[in-house]
Amino acid sequence: MKFYELITVDKRQNTPLKVQLMNQFRLAIYDYHLSEKFVLPSIQDLSKTFMMQEKDVEIALQTLQQEGLIASFKKNEYIVSHKRHSNEFMAKGFLLFQYIKKLGLEPAIVTLEQTMILADETIAKKMNIQVGERLLYLKRIYSGNQKPMVYLESFLNINLMPAIEKMVFTNQPHVEVIIKHYAFEPYRSVRENRVIALNREQAKALQDMENAPCHQVEVWTYDKTGKLMDYNLATLTSDDVFETITEPHLIQSTF
């Protein structure tokens, strides 16, 4: 795929162009569509192509550099830096609790439901398991400064993590429990993104409007051996807190 087919902005959106540009780069780098040491077009070329002010392009690229996603190459030129972005990738892809901290907010988890279920045909197919296998199902709200940010449904395979239902307590990050008690930890994610309209339950939990358009992301989390750790379905609020410009001093690694 050509660079300018992969990275695009849309002037019809309410989201500022520099924020769109940062999010496009983040997604492309997180998913390894841009290879390590790939040389980005110059600030002037990006500005001309996207009809943006050079200052806005520069702010976007400097923010990505602070996040460790890109590195300075020459004056006003940058390259993709996969080696440096791994911590941010982990936080963004797996550890919502830690990522909310990175935004400079006070994180909190409220558990709406925690129960044992049997995998139906749809979930079994998504997790590559047998219909009827036992799963721990968690339905939670992740908040920052008491503002709901993500409505998260998680499915944990009991066969891989015996007694996980006794170890996960209602308001703690379950990934930290998995790392602490089991022999695998998150290494890679596969995501599918879509735009949906919030249903009544999601809107109520997120304190948002029913039928408001929002982002929904399916995330499959694997360890280094390729073992599926968990499957998550995350629904963000319609104002999408993650599409804000993060101040550079808030992006320092917590790992």
For 235-244, write each residue's pLDDT tens digit: 988 765 444 3
Number of domains in the chain: 2
103 or 56, higher pLDDT: 56
The pLDDT of residue 223 is: 85
The pLDDT of residue 242 is: 45
| Confidence band for 128, pLDDT divided at 50, 70 and 90 | very high
Task: Please say whether the beta carbons of 251 and 222 come within 8 A.
Answer: no
Tokens coding 10: 């849309």
Q: Is 170 within a domain?
A: yes
Q: Is 252 within a domain?
A: no
How does the average pLDDT of the chain come out, rounded?
81
**pLDDT of 177-225, one tens digit each?**
888 888 887 777 777 777 778 899 999 999 988 877 777 888 888 888 8
End-to-end CA distance of the chain: 33
The pLDDT of residue 110 is: 92
Q: Is 99 within a domain?
A: no
Range of the domain at 22: 3-87
Tell me whether residue 64 is exposed, middle or buried, using C-beta atoms within 10 angstroms of its C-beta: 0 to 12, 13 to 18, 19 or more. buried
The verdict on 60 and 114 lying in the same domain is no
